[in-house]
Every structure is written in structure tokens, then in C-alpha cells.
Amino acid sequence: MSDPVRAIGSSPPRLEAGDKAIGRAQYVDDIQRPGMLYAALLTSPHAHARILGYRLDAARAIAGVKAIVTGADLSGSRSGGIIKDESMVARGKVRYVGEIVAAVAASDPQTASRAATAIELDYEPLDAVLTIDEALAPGAPVLHEESASYVKAIQGGGHGNVVFETTVAEGDVERAFAQCDVIVENTWQTQAQHNAYLEPGGCVADVDASGRITLYASCQSVHHVQQRVAEELGEPMARIRAIAMRVGGGFGGKHASNIHSIAAWLARAARRPVKLVLSRMQDFEIQRSRHPARIWMKTGARRDGMILARDVRITLDGGAYADESPPVLAFALLMSRGPYRIANVRARGQAVYTNKLRAGSFRGFGNPQASFAGESQIDELASRLGINPVELRLANAMRPNDTAFGGQPVASCVLRECIARVRDAQREAPPLAPRNGRRRGVGFAVMSHISGLMGTAATVQLRTDGSIALSTGCVDIGQGSDTAMVQICADALSVPIERVSYAPQDSDASPYNWKTAGSRSTYMTGRAVAVASLEMRDRMLAHAADMMECAVVDLELRPGGVVGLKGVPKTVGFREIAMRSLFHSGGPIVVTHGFVFDGTGFDPKRASIHQLAFANLGVYTFGAQCVEVDVDEGTGQVEVRRAWCAHDVGRAINPVSCEGQIQGGFVQGMGYALVEAMKWNAEGWLITATLADYKVPGVLDCPPEIHPIILEDPDPTHPVGAKGIGEPSLVGAAPAIANAICNATGARLRTLPMTPERVLNAMDSRS
């Protein structure tokens, strides 16, 4: 018998790649329904204003207008995530320029747009706060005066413009600093970054004769969309169905639903299907961004390089609504220690409301901000200590069976190997020729991240012909989870991946999944798929044992969907097992496995934690990155020439996909480091609301060499050992590049993005 086909560890092309390449993949905007209406939005021109009234007559009078919704139509409590402070269209007040104040459904897009513009609102403009300092100033205008009445799943904010505040601490920071020989202390600033997915947000809401609503959505979770729309429409979830289309990227930006309810409301009112697809400009103005942050950090070490203490204060600019600010802040604090053995750490944080677009979930989830400060500071500390920064990292790096900040045990940790691998790879690479007028520098950064969080499930079902139907609630937003899930299932059952079908996500049919977020799909949903598949294998073996009149222990799976008697050529096919279970005895073989992340949580004996948005996080992953940059002495422009990114993925289900995630994450991190920035003017208008003004690196801006280095240290809690790789690769880019710039020029950049102008100013201020 030949070796079993191992689907895991091979890199078949993505299941959907062909359709995407030739334009057959179906996205929301491809949907056409008979009688479909088009939605248009009216948005706020004020950063902060009270809504005094609406005049809808002119809009209603336009032929073809079928439904209008404004805040005056809404009642009941607000909706949202952890803090329910939002509504699908503004109610009572507007809190940022671009906030949706009304929506219209009409027979064609032009009519809808004309009608939306014809709606008039009376506003009483209020003073706005656009920065962290303005929001926290004494006597500052308050965005949410009624905060105390909001439904909140977590307390810890609500005074003034503070959304949420908390502290995580271990050891005794003050005493430890007294024992330090060297202490470094500084403040970093980071900017708002846009998720900049290819496909702007959108959905189509359809409604049947009974009034039941079906949403075809670009989203990161059908179950979340279903729940949010039901909540905002006051309908039972049974009356709302959400179906995921192909999603053209999310990066966290489609993590929370905020426009789907509008289409659903209009469809319900008009009794017609309604399409709502944001323009690129609207997507910039009304979706979300990465949190701008201000981070103060102080780190102290003994002369021998042992880091004893770190003190951190993180303030996040959360924009007008809480969205994911509480968990982003909590995660930033937990990541602010870095993957180091530092016994005394105190991390205090606040997220504040400002009159700008909400900040929310974005690949990295607070970690890029914390790591930019932390990993920059490690280099500064190394320089003060006179120790090589790589050696300083190696000496203080976490090791297997250490605990993470907050006290969670970490079983698998290959951080030191990651550091050594990138160090050696860079050293051994043939040096690039020096260039006139450019200064070359090398920089390192390390990071940890998690994969886990919340609940998920998978269902496998044996079909009549012995092939497998796999279903999960995990939406593939472009990262390749469809293919990975099929590979895990096929591997468990020793069948080729063509024998496994994968169902699109549909809240009517798919088993629950929280979200495509937190680098969790391969770890969480993949784990559910593996467990369910293995249980199905056992059920099939039991059938086979009956059929072959032998004991289960004497049976084995053979490649290609066959159960064989060990040592003998005698076999039973999956098809025969299916026939028996379906038509003779035992019943259909359908296995669902669901679980909620079950790792050990925070340790109250080690850590003092005021409030967090979650009980436990996930399993930890580690990585190290090294970059070589050229800094242009004349212009300050930074060019990343080469990068090496070593990441522990537990087990690479699809190595090519892992490499793609590492390279893509690094490039998005490079955009964050060097160029991407959302900017608002003094009136609170976003002035970078097009892709002409807001630039992301394109293929010509990518370093010619980004070397992914995959380390596989199987996670003991996952049947196949896999962990997530969606986010970590973004996290290291900014600090590694900052460290490389400093290595090249001596100039230390503490503000993102590190534009040529800032780099040149920093270089000039040194000379």
C-alpha cells in the first residue's frame, strides 16, 4: 500500500483562485434581483451637531423613491459591540463627518442619490474634539452625554469622553526600576490606517412574501451580521438570514456590521430587494480605521542586559463610537510587554471618543501600535547598554513554558529560533552593493500574537457516493481558509481534496462561528474541522467493522476513501459505508463539533487586571523580522530592500498560503510604517478619502525580496498542531524599519508613518 495522500503540508491552488482570476467569483455588487432597488446614503457634514429635524417631502416626491429611513424612525436601545452606543443611522446627534443620517431606496442609483441629497436636516452645530488631547481636556464637549444609559457588556469608562480604561500589572514596577542601571523612556505616535480592502463594504437585502429578510453580505461573519441586523431591526434572528458572498478583503474592517441593517430596513419597508454598495469614498468616510495611538513607555535593565521593568501608558483615539475600542485597548496592553521575560510590568490604557470615524478592528488589533513603541525601545535600550540588539532580544526572549503577560501559560514558544533564523539568513545573504547617496541599515523586531477567542464549529457529512460535505461558519476573506479547511478535513480522512466540498457560509445552514478575526480560523475552526473529521472517521470505522466482521482496531484508513483490514487487501469503500448508513442501519453520518476557546485564562495571582474585554485569548505565536533599508540622504525616502520574516505557524496546512500571509502582512505593515495615513482637516473632514490621496504600497513598492521563514512547532491543543498567521507578519514591520532607519542614519523616528519628510527632519536635527 502506498503512503497515504497527505493533504496537510501540500500547497494546492486556492479553491476559488480560478474563479477570481477569470472574474467568475461572485461579489455583492454582482448580484442582480428582479425589482431590485438601490440605496443611497446621506451623511453628516458636521463633526458634531445636534439633529433638530428632518424635511423629507422633497425626497419623497421624487418618482422612483420607495423607502427612506432616518434616525427619527428608530426606537429602542442602541446597538453595537461591547458598548451599545451606535445606531445604523444617526439618532439625536451626529458625531463625525460622514456619519449616515438618512438612507433612501429607489429604482435606480441616480434617483436614489438625488433623493438622498434632497433630504434636509436641521442641525445645531456643536464644538468638536478631533484629537486625544482635545477629548481629554477639562470642559471638553462630550460626545456621548447619555453614556450611562448605554447597554454595556463591560464597564470601565463612561466619564467624559473616555470609552474604556484599564490596567494590567505584574510585579512591582517602581521597585524594579530602582534596581535598573539603565532606563529609557519615550513617547510614540501612530496614525489612522485604512483597511483598504479591494472590495468596499456592501450587501443586498432581499425579502420574501412573509417578510423574512435574506442578506447577501461582504462580511467577516454571517452569524454576526444576522445578530446585528436582527438587533437593529427588532426582529427575531429566525427572521433574518445572512449569506456571505466572496469577500474582497477585510483585514478587520468588515469585522463589525454597520451598514447591513440599513439595506435590510429599506428592503423590509419597500418589500423589494435593496442593494447598498459603498463607493470607495464612502467606504473611507464611514467604515473604520486602525486606532491612532499615543504610547508612553519606559523600560529598565541591569547592566548585564537583563530587563527588569517596563511601564506603559497607551491612549487610543477611538473615534465617534466604541466599536472594538475596548478589546483593541486590552490587547494592546497585553502585547505591550513584548515577548520577553520581564517580571515587573505595568500597562495602563485609555480609549477616548473623538469626532472622527470610528476606529476598530484591523489586522494586528492594537499590537502594531504597542510593538512599534516596544520594539523601538528595545533597540534604544540595547544602544544605551552597549549590547547588540539581537543579543539583547535573545537574552530576554520568552521560552517554552513561560507565561504571557497576564499569566497565561505558553506551552509552545520558538521565539529564540525565529530570532536566530532571521539573524542568520540576513548574515548569510550576499550583501547588496552600496548605493551612492543612500545609507544602508539593518533592523530587527520580534513579536508575539494569539490565535483563539470565542466559539466555532464544523459539520462533516458523508454523502451517498462516499464524498464529504464540509461546512463551517468561517468566511474566507481572501486569506485562504476555504482551502485550509478542506485540506484539514481531507487529511483526516485520507481522501483527495476534490472529494471534500465546502459550503458557503449561510446563517441558516452553517454551524456557528464568531468571526474571521484574531488569526483564529486555522486554529479555531480548523481544530473543529479536524475533530469533527476524526469523529466521522471513527463512525465510519465502526460501520466498516460491522461490515467486515472484525474489530475497529484491526482497521485502517487507506488513501482514496477506503477502509482496509490491516495487513490484508480486503477493503470497504466510503461509498459502501455511506449506503449502509443511509439506507440500512446507523443513520446518516453527520458529525458536528463545536467548542469555545478553552485555554487557561489570566492568572489573578500573577497579574492584577482591572478589566479586560475577554476571559482568555488564545494560543501564542511568535515571530521575528529583519529588514534592510536604504535611506536616501537627499530626500529622506526609505526603501525596504530585503526582509526576512520567521514565524511559527504550529503546522503549515498550506505552506504557500502561509508564505502569502507573511508577505502580504509584511507589505501592509510596511505601508503602515512608511506611507499610509488618514488625515482630517480642522473641521473634521477626512481629506484622504480617495486612493489618490490615501496611498497604499503597490507591487512596484514591494521589496524585491521578502523571505518568509516558516517554523513549525505543533501546538499541543490542536489535532494537527496548527496556529494562525493572519496578523503577526504585519506587527513587526514598523519597528523593524524604524530600527533599520536608526541603524542607517542615527535618527530615531517615533511617529508613524515615517514619511521622507519626517525622516529628513530627524536626520537634520541630529546634524
Partner 1 sequence: MRIEGSFDIALPRAAVYGHLTDPGLIAACIPGCDQIERISPTDYRARVTIGMGGIKASFNLVVEVTSEQPPERVLSQTRGEEGSRASMLAADNEVALEEIDAANTRVSYVSDVSVTGRLGKFALGVMKKKVESLGREFAERLRERIQIQPAASSAPEAVPQ
Partner 2 sequence: MSVDQGVFRPASVDEAVSVLARLPDARLISGGATLVAMINARLIEPAALVSLAGVDELHGITENPDGGWRIGAMTRHRDVAAERRFTGTLALVQQAASLIANATVRNMGTIGGAIAHADPGLDYPPALVAADAQIEIASGKGRRRLPASEFFVDWYATALQSAELVTAVHLRAASDGVGLYHKLARVSGDYATVSVALTMSSGVAGIATRAAMGACGPTPILLEEANALLSGSPGESELNRAGELLAAAADPVDDVRGSAEYRRLLIPRMLARAFTEARAAIGART
Q: Summarize as ranges the residues that interact with partner 1 (CB under 8 A).
A: 45, 97, 117, 281, 681-683, 685, 687, 689-690
Nearer to partner 2, 31 or 696 (CB): 696
DSSP labels, 425-459: HHHHSPPPPP-TTEEEEEEEEEEEEEEE-SEEEEE
Give least dist CB 679 to partner 1, A: 10
Nearer to partner 1, 614 or 694 (CB): 694
In this structure, what are the phi and psi dihedrals at residue 258, rounded to the nearest 5 degrees?
-135, 0
Q: Which does 77 bind (CB under 5 to 8 A by kind): partner 2, partner 1, none?
A: none
Q: Which does 683 bind (CB under 5 to 8 A by kind): partner 2, partner 1, none?
A: partner 1
- Compute the distance between CA of residue 718 and CA of residue 347 in angstroms, rounded to an integer: 31
String of contacts with partner 2 for each residue 410-439, x by CB under 8 A: ---------------------------x--
Nearer to partner 1, 26 or 117 (CB): 117
Give least dist CB 697 to partner 2, A: 6
Adjacent-strand bridge partners of 41: 103
Q: Which does 24 bind (CB under 5 to 8 A by kind): partner 1, partner 2, none?
A: none
Cβ atoms of 36 and 64 within 8 Å: the answer is no
- Compute the distance between CA of residue 603 and CA of residue 506 in angstroms, rounded to an integer: 38
Q: Does 10 bind partner 2 (CB under 8 A)?
A: no
Q: Is residue 657 exposed (0-12), middle (13-18) or buried (19+ Cβ within 10 Å)?
A: buried
**Angle at CA 673, nearest 5°, toward 668 and 679?**
95
Adjacent-strand bridge partners of 186: 297
Of 53-61, 336-344, 606-614, 695-703, which part binds partner 2 (CB under 8 A)? 695-703
Nearer to partner 2, 129 or 763 (CB): 763
Helix (H, G, I), strand (E, B) or coil at 556: strand
- Compute the distance between CA of residue 50 and CA of residue 44 in angstroms, rounded to an integer: 11
Alpha helices in 61-189 (DSSP H): 109-118, 132-136, 173-178
- Quick one: CA torsion of 251, 252, 256, 261, rounded to 10 degrees? -10
Cβ atoms of 242 and 169 within 8 Å: the answer is no
Helix (H, G, I), strand (E, B) or coil at 456: strand
Give least dist CB 118 to partner 1, A: 8
Nearer to partner 1, 149 or 681 (CB): 681
Q: Which does 553 bind (CB under 5 to 8 A by kind): partner 1, partner 2, none?
A: none
Q: Which does 682 bind (CB under 5 to 8 A by kind): partner 2, partner 1, none?
A: partner 1
Judged by CB under 8 A, the residue of 122, 538, 693, 705 near partner 2 is 693
Adjacent-strand bridge partners of 50: 93, 124
Name the amino acid, one letter, at 572. Answer: V
- Compute the distance between CA of residue 406 and CA of residue 395 in angstroms, rounded to an integer: 21
- Which grid cell is 495? 481522501
Cβ atoms of 294 and 189 within 8 Å: the answer is yes
Could you tell me whether strands 240-244 and 213-217 are parallel, antiparallel, or unpaired per DSSP bridges?
Answer: parallel
Q: Per-residue b/e over 77-116, b at no fewer than 16 CB within 10 Å?
A: ebbbbbbbbbbbbbbebbbbbbbbbbbbbbbeeebbbbbb
- Compute the distance between CA of residue 382 and CA of residue 388 in angstroms, rounded to an integer: 6
Helix (H, G, I), strand (E, B) or coil at 175: helix
Nearer to partner 1, 93 or 114 (CB): 114
In this structure, what are the phi and psi dihedrals at residue 533, rounded to the nearest 5 degrees?
-65, -40
Q: Does 634 bind partner 2 (CB under 8 A)?
A: yes
- Which grid cell is 720? 494537527
Angle between the 733-745 and 367-385 helix axes, to the nearest 10 degrees?
30
Could you tell me whether strands 468-472 and 500-502 are parallel, antiparallel, or unpaired per DSSP bridges?
Answer: parallel
Nearer to partner 1, 73 or 683 (CB): 683
- Compute the distance between CA of residue 255 and CA of residue 640 in angstroms, rounded to an integer: 30
- Compute the distance between CA of residue 356 and CA of residue 515 in angstroms, rounded to an integer: 26
Residues 6+ apart with CB under 8 A from 568: none
Name the amino acid, one letter, at 457. Answer: A
Give least dist CB 279 to partner 2, A: 8
- Compute the distance between CA of residue 368 and CA of residue 249 in angstroms, rounded to an integer: 19
How distant, in Å, are the alpha carbons of 25, 207, 284, 432, 463 from that of 564? 40, 51, 57, 57, 20
Give least dist CB 635 to partner 2, A: 5
Nearer to partner 2, 77 or 110 (CB): 110
Give least dist CB 366 to partner 2, A: 26
**Of 601, 596, 611, which Cα lies nearest the Cα of 406?**
601
Give least dist CB 445 to partner 2, A: 22
Q: Which does 124 bind (CB under 5 to 8 A by kind): partner 2, partner 1, none?
A: none
Give least dist CB 58 to partner 1, A: 11
String of contacts with partner 2 for each residue 436-455, x by CB under 8 A: -x------------------
Q: Which does 635 bind (CB under 5 to 8 A by kind): partner 2, partner 1, none?
A: partner 2
Judged by CB under 8 A, the residue of 237, 281, 420, 656 near partner 2 is 281
Give least dist CB 686 to partner 1, A: 8
Give least dist CB 685 to partner 1, A: 5
Judged by CB under 8 A, the residue of 592, 695, 714, 746 near partner 2 is 695
Sign of the torsion angle spanned by Cα atoms 499, 505, 507, 512: positive
Residues 6+ apart with CB under 8 A from 146: none
Q: Does 148 bind partner 2 (CB under 8 A)?
A: no
Judged by CB under 8 A, the residue of 52, 148, 682, 700 near partner 2 is 700
Of 372-380, 562-570, 631-639, 711-719, which part binds partner 2 (CB under 8 A)? 631-639
- Compute the distance between CA of residue 408 and CA of residue 402 in angstroms, rounded to an integer: 9
Give least dist CB 117 to partner 1, A: 6
Q: Which does 685 bind (CB under 5 to 8 A by kind): partner 2, partner 1, none?
A: partner 1
Q: Does 692 bind partner 2 (CB under 8 A)?
A: yes
DSSP state of 405: T
Q: What would you measure as the largest C-alpha separation in the chain, in angstroms?
A: 86
Give least dist CB 682 to partner 1, A: 7
Nearer to partner 1, 127 or 683 (CB): 683
Give least dist CB 695 to partner 2, A: 5
Nearer to partner 1, 281 or 590 (CB): 281
Of 199-207, 409-417, 634-642, 714-722, which part binds partner 2 (CB under 8 A)? 634-642
Judged by CB under 8 A, the residue of 25, 306, 420, 696 near partner 2 is 696
Q: Which does 343 bind (CB under 5 to 8 A by kind): partner 2, partner 1, none?
A: none
Give least dist CB 230 to partner 2, A: 35
Judged by CB under 8 A, the residue of 690, 705, 716, 766 near partner 2 is 690
Adjacent-strand bridge partners of 679: none
String of contacts with partner 2 for each residue 649-688, x by CB under 8 A: --------------------------x-x-x-------xx
Q: Does 635 bind partner 2 (CB under 8 A)?
A: yes
Nearer to partner 2, 452 or 697 (CB): 697
Adjacent-strand bridge partners of 240: 213
Judged by CB under 8 A, the residue of 292, 338, 564, 697 near partner 2 is 697
- Compute the distance between CA of residue 137 and CA of residue 144 in angstroms, rounded to an integer: 15
Judged by CB under 8 A, the residue of 394, 701, 712, 746 near partner 2 is 701
Give least dist CB 689 to partner 1, A: 6
Nearer to partner 1, 127 or 185 (CB): 127
Chain residues that interact with partner 2, rule: CB under 8 A: 281, 437, 634-635, 637, 675, 677, 679, 687-688, 690, 692-698, 700-701, 755-757, 760
